[in-house]
Amino acid sequence: MVKEDSTYIKKGDRVWTPIVVAKDMVAWFKPQGKILEPCNGIGNISNLIPDCLTCEITEGTDFLEWTEKVDWIITNPPYSIFSKIIKHGLTVSDNSVWLLPTWKMFSGYGLMLKVKEHGGIKHMRHYGTGTKLGWSPLANSISAVHIQRDYTGDISQSYFNWQSETNKD
Ligand SMILES: C[S@@+](CC[C@H](N)C(=O)[O-])C[C@H]1O[C@@H](n2cnc3c(N)ncnc32)[C@H](O)[C@@H]1O
């Protein structure tokens, strides 16, 4: 653990979304209206979204105290408290996108029930292993999971193509 601004943060919670993945998440999910990055880090996602609202605990704003309703949340949450963060996110958003190890979304039945009460998972976009994202060594599959209020349809899936996407720039 590292001590930052009187708050103990687990080291594993301070990893950043690679810019190429952040760009793809914003382009793919197209968040609109009032948008919040609740666990902002150094802003790799929020910097791509004009007028994006942000929280970052090391800068004094705790998302768990956020109560304002938003249209979209888009983030890569701190993994040590991801379930608490997602559950809270569902209470303040209509749409939310969470980048995390894929299995974590289904690792606790309590979280699955909260998602069901809210609506459902609409889409999962898969980005490869944690190692591919630079969070090495991490063999876990990493996905961006879109949860939508009142959604009752099937879950669709897509796969990010690193080769074609990283040759664009
Ligand atoms: C995995 S990092 C991801 C940062 C950023 N979302 C990104 O995609 O690059 C998670 C961030 O959440 C912050 N954090 C942890 N707990 C928080 C809380 N309760 N409220 C707001 N930010 C929090 C951590 O300090 C860290 O910067």
Query: pTM for the complete prediction?
Result: 0.93
Query: Please, what sign has the CA dihedral across residues 160, 133, 42, 89?
Result: positive
Q: Which residues of the chain have pLDDT under 70?
A: 1-9, 11-12, 168-169
Topology of the domain covering 19-159: Rossmann fold (3.40.50)
| Residue ranges per structural domain of the chain | 19-159
The Cα–Cα gap between 24 and 45 comes to 10
Nearby residues of 132 by Cβ (< 8 Å), 6 or more positions away? 142, 162
Give the pLDDT score at 9: 58
Q: Is 28 exposed, middle or buried, given 0-12, 13-18 or 19+ CB atoms closer than 10 A?
A: middle
99 CA: nearest ligand 1 atom: 8
CA distance 77 to 166: 24
Closest CA to 140 of 152, 153, 150, 131: 131
CB 91 within 8 A of CB 115: no
Please report the pLDDT score of residue 137 as a whole number.
80
- Residue of 23, 40, 145 to test ligand 1 pocket, by largest number of atoms within 8 Å of CB: 40
